[in-house]
């Protein structure tokens, strides 16, 4: 089968890859580019473990075809920390134990960042709806929601 | 896996000719939130996948003299962020914004929702109530059909070979109009409608001067319920008119029994939702703001 040559930008780095026409972005990220932070939970857009942003939009990478990344800017969990310096959301998730097994965590972090970039003063209800497409089977969600609220409060404080 | 081709169309005409060239094995890729799930499940095996998201006309929203044209592949999130459209057609926008999660909203389109032809598609009852017109491009010509005539059964559209949907047009209407969409699902998010009702009204003082009602998930296709609209039109939306309209919705139901709801339950709920959606649409027509449940997170 003819492979497609794709030129894209992943976490700010120009990246090229070859893929099959019906391969998903998630498969290429994980299996070809070694970016295994994005997880495959359901493979059908229900669980959000594969969340990434494409041109700033939060999406499930399991429901994006790899050739669609042509010319796009893709952001994955691997681009969230700056070297050893964790993103405030990552730090807060650790501090407040907003994770247990960790499979859903990259998706929650990417989705939470996308929310706080748009709105640094979300209500608890807004956070819960925004994150309704991210499933967690360990935490019961409360710790995650509270961590996001804390980070939002810190963002507002430092913006003063 | 068979030899699948991936093409990016640059114009509507090119997309239509690629569809024609694929001889029935072409599939338009809008947000892919139905298509990819179906491909993974082995339910569809396209010969050619045609991405239409590089075609400006298909991913933009334009307004001309109060009428809105929504590109068929415009992501739901983009539609929800369009303040003027949200103000003009709150019911249509809330219906589109109910589709899936934030992640799904980043990709899912109204055109995809319509072409996937699920009887429970959330945007369709609101589009039917709005009187939306579907613009279709074939290999040579364009044509338009009212949205309620577009689907012919579960998973079936009236598109002919080589035709694609370009856009959906919402007509201009008087300022004293309002619309609303309500669905019943067993959860508050991420589920398929048991019943969905779209209502669009134009008021003159306390009197309803025109109405349209779209009813989803209770028949093989989304229904335009003319008897319900007739019961509301000319009334002050009093108890008698609402009873008649609710009964008309229940009478129009030809639902299935499934794990989400029995025939009796769906039939009853169709009437209940008609009353509630009518109340919201009427408030909006009078300029009383009724925030959409789906916009809490946006
Ligand atoms: C997790 C999840 C939750 C969901 N929740 C809901 C929900 O709450 N309510 C709901 O109604 N749906 C829901 N869906 C289904 C789906 O998201 C919607 O139907 C969506 O609107 C499809 O749009 P799309 O752009 O992704 O379509 P695609 O998958 O790109 O296309 C769908 C079908 O239509 C065809 N098509 C698309 N555009 C055109 C065109 N312009 N011309 C001709 N053919 C075309 C495609 O070839 C394909 O067969 C959900 C899906 C997922 C994965």
Structure confidence at residue B189 (pLDDT): 67
**Tens digit of pLDDT for each residue in B53-106?**
999 999 999 999 999 999 999 999 999 999 999 999 999 999 999 999 999 999
Mutate to test the pocket of ligand 1, among B46, B54, B112, B157 (most ligand atoms within 8 A of CB): B112
Instruction: Establish, for the pair of chains A and B, how many residue pairs have beta carbons separated by less than 8 Å.
Output: 99
Q: Residue B237 corresponds to which tokens in the numbers above? A: 């939306």
Mutation pick for ligand 1 pocket among B36, B43, B60, B115 (CB with most ligand atoms within 8 Å): B115
Boundary (domain end) residue, out of A37, A53, A79: A79
Give the chain A residue nearest B105 (alpha carbons): A59
H or E element, residue A7: strand A4-10
Q: Domain holding A73: CATH number?
A: 3.10.20.30
Given CB atoms, is B100 within the 8 Å cutoff of chain A?
A: yes
**What is the model's pLDDT at position B295?**
43
Q: Whose CA is nearest to atom 38 of ligand 1?
A: B112
Question: How sure is the predictor about B261, in pLDDT bands with cuts at 50, 70 and 90?
Answer: confident
Take atom 5 of ligand 1 and give the residue whose Cα is closest: B100
> Are residue B120 and residue B37 in the same domain, yes or no?
no
In whole angstroms, what is the distance from residue B82 CA to residue A130 CA? 18
The confidence score (pLDDT) of residue B291 equals 80
Residue B1 has pLDDT above 60, yes or no: no
Q: Cα–Cα distances in Å, from A69 out to A56, B12, B234, B251? A: 13, 21, 53, 48
Last residue in a domain, options B144, B170, B196: B170
Residues 77 through 96 of chain B touching chain A, CB cutoff 8 Å: 77
Which H or E run includes A158?
helix A142-159
Would you say residue B238 has pLDDT above 70? yes
Owning domain of residue B36: 5-51
Residues A92 and A153 in one domain: yes
CA–CA separation, B177 and B197 (whole Å) = 17
How many domains, in total, are found in chain A?
2
As a whole-number percent, the residues of chain B with pLDDT over 90 amount to: 90
Residues with CB under 6 A from ligand 1: A 44-46; B 27-35, 37, 72-73, 98-100, 104, 107-109, 111-113, 115-116, 121-122, 164-165, 190
Give me the domain span that covers residue A71.
4-79
Average pLDDT over residues B225-230: 98
pLDDT at site B298: 32
Say how far apart CA A147 and CA B274 lie, in whole Å: 40
Domain boundary among A54, A79, A104: A79
Q: What is the pLDDT of residues B119-157, one digit of tens each?
A: 999 999 999 999 999 999 998 899 999 999 999 999 999
Answer yes or no: is pLDDT of B2 > 80. no
Lowest mean pLDDT among B135-144, B233-242, B254-263: B254-263
- Residues in chain A predicted with pLDDT less than 50, given as ranges, are none
> pLDDT grade, residue B289 (50/70/90)?
confident
Task: Please tell me the pTM assigned to this model.
Answer: 0.96
Q: What pLDDT score does B115 carry? A: 98
State the average pLDDT for chain B. Answer: 95
Q: What is the CATH number of the domain that holds A100?
A: 1.10.150.120
Task: Give me the residue label for tokens 């409360």.
Answer: A142
Instruction: Tell me which of B170, B203, B224 is where a domain ends.
Output: B170
Nearest CA-CA distance, residue A44 and chain B, Å: 6
């Amino acid at each position: 089968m003819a492979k497609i040559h794709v030129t894209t930008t992943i976490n700010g780095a120009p990246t090229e890859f070859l893929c099959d026409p019906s391969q998903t972005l998630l498969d290429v990220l994980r299996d070809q580019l070694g970016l295994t932070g994005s997880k495959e939970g359901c493979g059908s857009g229900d669980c959000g473990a594969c969340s990434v942003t494409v041109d700033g939009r939060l999406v499930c990478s399991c429901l994006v075809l790899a050739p669609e990344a042509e010319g796009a800017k893709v952001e994955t969990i691997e681009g969230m920390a700056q070297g050893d310096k964790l993103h405030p959301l990552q730090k807060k998730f650790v501090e407040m134990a907003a994770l247990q097994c960790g499979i859903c965590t990259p998706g929650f972090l990417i989705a939470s960042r996308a929310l706080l970039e748009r709105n640094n003063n979300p209500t608890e209800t807004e956070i819960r709806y925004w994150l309704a497409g991210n499933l967690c089977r360990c935490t019961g969600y409360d710790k995650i929601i509270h961590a996001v609220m804390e980070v939002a409060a810190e963002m507002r404080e430092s913006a003063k | 896996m068979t030899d699948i081709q991936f093409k990016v169309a640059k114009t509507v005409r090119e997309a239509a000719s690629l569809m024609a060239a694929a001889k029935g094995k072409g599939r338009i890729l809008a947000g892919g939130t139905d298509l990819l799930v179906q491909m993974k499940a082995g339910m569809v095996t396209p010969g050619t996948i045609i991405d239409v998201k590089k075609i400006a006309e298909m991913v933009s929203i334009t307004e001309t003299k109060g009428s809105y044209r929504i590109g068929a592949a415009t992501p739901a999130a983009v539609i929800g962020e369009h303040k003027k459209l949200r103000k003009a057609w709150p019911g249509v926008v809330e219906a589109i914004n109910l589709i899936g999660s934030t992640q799904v909203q980043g990709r899912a389109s109204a055109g995809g929702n319509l072409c996937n032809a699920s009887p429970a598609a959330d945007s369709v009852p609101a589009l039917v109530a709005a009187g939306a017109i579907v613009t279709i491009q074939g290999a040579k010509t364009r044509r338009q059909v009212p949205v309620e005539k577009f689907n012919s059964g579960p998973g079936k559209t009236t598109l002919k070979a080589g035709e694609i949907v370009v856009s959906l047009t919402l007509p201009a209407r008087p300022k004293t109009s309002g619309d609303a969409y309500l669905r019943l699902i067993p959860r508050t998010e991420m589920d398929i409608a048991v019943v969905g009702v779209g209502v669009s009204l134009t008021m003159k003082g306390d009197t309803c001067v025109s109405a349209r009602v779209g009813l989803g998930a209770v028949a093989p296709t989304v229904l335009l319920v003319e008897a319900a609209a007739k019961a509301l039109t000319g009334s002050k939306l009093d108890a008698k008119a609402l009873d008649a309209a609710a009964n008309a919705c229940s009478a129009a139901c030809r639902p299935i029994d499934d794990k989400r709801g029995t025939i009796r339950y769906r039939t009853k709920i169709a009437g209940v939702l008609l009353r509630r959606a009518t109340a919201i649409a009427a408030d909006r027509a009078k300029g009383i703001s009724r925030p959409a449940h789906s916009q809490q997170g946006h």
